[in-house]
Amino acid sequence: MAGFGREPMTDPIGWINHWRPKDAWYYLATPERRNLQVTWEDIRHVARADGARLLGQYESRANSPFARFSIWEFTRLSTLTAMLAALEDAEYYRYFVEDNVLGRRTSEPYANYDEAARLTEESA
Amino acid sequence: MTMQGVAASIGFVALWNKTDAEYRASASDEWATTARIQGAFKASRERGNVSAGLFASRLGSPYAYMTFWHCPDALSLVDSIADLERAGDFKFADSYHVFGARISGSCSTVMRVPGDARADHGLVAPTGLFVQWNVSARPDRAAAEYEVLEVLATDGCELAGAYDSRLSSSWERFAFAIAAEASLEQVMNDLRRVADRRGVVMRTLVGQLDRNYRFASHIQGERPWLDSDENR
């Protein structure tokens, strides 16, 4: 199993990354914005080289306080935490705010709840 | 932390309220489910997860209870949550969960459990303190964060750990500490002073250590919530 453990694994970690710019982003000059974007993209590239996959990016402003979300898969939790630490060092969180969710992939999403319902039925 | 680094140890906080199902449960459902939850807790301990115990948190939050676990890695946590799902824990609880990777050097290697805190401070009911904050937008973030952690590690307050929770939350950091009752007011004042002076956006929740769980409207006095002397 294991992206949550110490080694790369067969069950990847899914990460839904909700994000939007802070006010300060709008007041940066174009070269500053471009430089920051290049720096941040380089950091994400390092994560991809370490097995992370960016599955897609989506506009969500019409139905969420967050303007965008990105969907990622990681083979190791440490790849994600290192990416976030590098983004922080590169001032990403000075200009953007996030709200994130992660979990390991499952092929049996109902199984635990079926088991809980069966045991509840048994003890009724 | 590097890309090839060893997976970080994990801090986990759960805050929860009772569902209507808890109030409607039959005695057999209550006790069979409770026994299965205890089994899940035992398996959790065997994976190396350490719980700080059960904290009644209605006094300062919209939640009935709070708990904190320190886990050797994230797999130990998610496997234990899966055990709790199968046990039926979540038919009785609506929970807010957050976890994060431990900030290096932010806590002792072995978390001191409430039993230790009680012995050290002569407390009847140590207070659990859950603090979340956002600081990374500030140019002085390192100094601001140091001051928050310093407050949580002063006399009468035991810092269980501080964690980077951006991976699972809009809060960038959280910490869990166990404060002596007599120190709580000073700790809260000091946190507020840091927040005001440094402009740190912060949320704090407190809870009092409880040994027995209140199921629906009655206390489960027959057994402690964590049914193990080794992990109160």
Residue B142 has pLDDT above 80, yes or no: yes
Q: Which of A110-124, B77-91, B107-121 has the lowest mean pLDDT?
A: B107-121
Which of B77, B85, B166 is nearest residue A116 as measured by Cβ atoms?
A: B85
User: Tokens representing A114?
Assistant: 């079926």
Cα distance between residue B109 and residue B112, in whole Å: 9
Residue B78's pLDDT band (cuts 50, 70, 90)? very high
Across B130-154, average pLDDT: 88
Q: How many residues does chain B have?
A: 232
Neighbours of B164 (CB within 10 A): 24
The three-class DSSP label of residue B216 is coil
Cα distance between residue A17 and residue A57, in whole Å: 9
- Per-residue pLDDT of chain A (124 residues), as tens digits, is 445 555 555 689 999 999 999 989 999 999 999 999 999 999 999 999 999 999 999 999 888 889 999 999 999 989 998 999 899 889 998 999 999 999 999 999 999 999 999 999 998 8
Note the helical H segments in chain B: 20-24, 27-46, 74-87, 114-121, 141-152, 184-198
User: Tokens representing B209?
Assistant: 């250590």
CA distance A84 to chain B (A): 8
Residue B223 has pLDDT above 80, yes or no: no
Would you state the pLDDT for residue B88? 93
Contact B73 A4 (CB under 8 A): yes
Would you state the pLDDT for residue B8? 76
3-state secondary structure labels for all residues of chain A: CCCCCCCCCCCCEEEEEEEEECHHHHCCCHHHHHHHHHHHHHHHHHHHHCCCEEEEEEECHHHCCCCEEEEEEECCHHHHHHHHHHHHHCCHHHHEEEEEEEEECCCCCCHHHHHHHHHHHHHC
Residue B81 vs residues A108, B30, B69, B125: alpha-carbon distances, Å = 15, 19, 12, 27
Would you state the pLDDT for residue A64? 86
Q: How many residues does chain A have?
A: 124
Task: Look at strands B157-164 and B93-102 and give their pairing.
Answer: antiparallel
DSSP state of B105: T
Would you state the pLDDT for residue A7? 52
Closest CA to B10 of A80, A11, A73: A80
ipTM above 0.90? no
Contact B87 A77 (CB under 8 A): no
CA distance A5 to chain B (A): 6
Interface test with A, best of B97, B106, B136 (most A CBs within 10 A): B136
Would you state the pLDDT for residue B106? 55
Cα distance between residue B163 and residue B180, in whole Å: 22
| Residue whose structure tokens are 């904190």 | B68
Q: Which of A67-71, A82-86, B180-184, B213-217 has the lowest mean pLDDT?
A: B180-184
Report chain B residues touching chain A, CB-CB < 8 A.
Answer: 1-8, 26, 28-29, 32-33, 36, 73-75, 77-78, 82, 85-88, 90-91, 101, 136-138, 164, 166-170, 172
Contact B167 A100 (CB under 8 A): yes
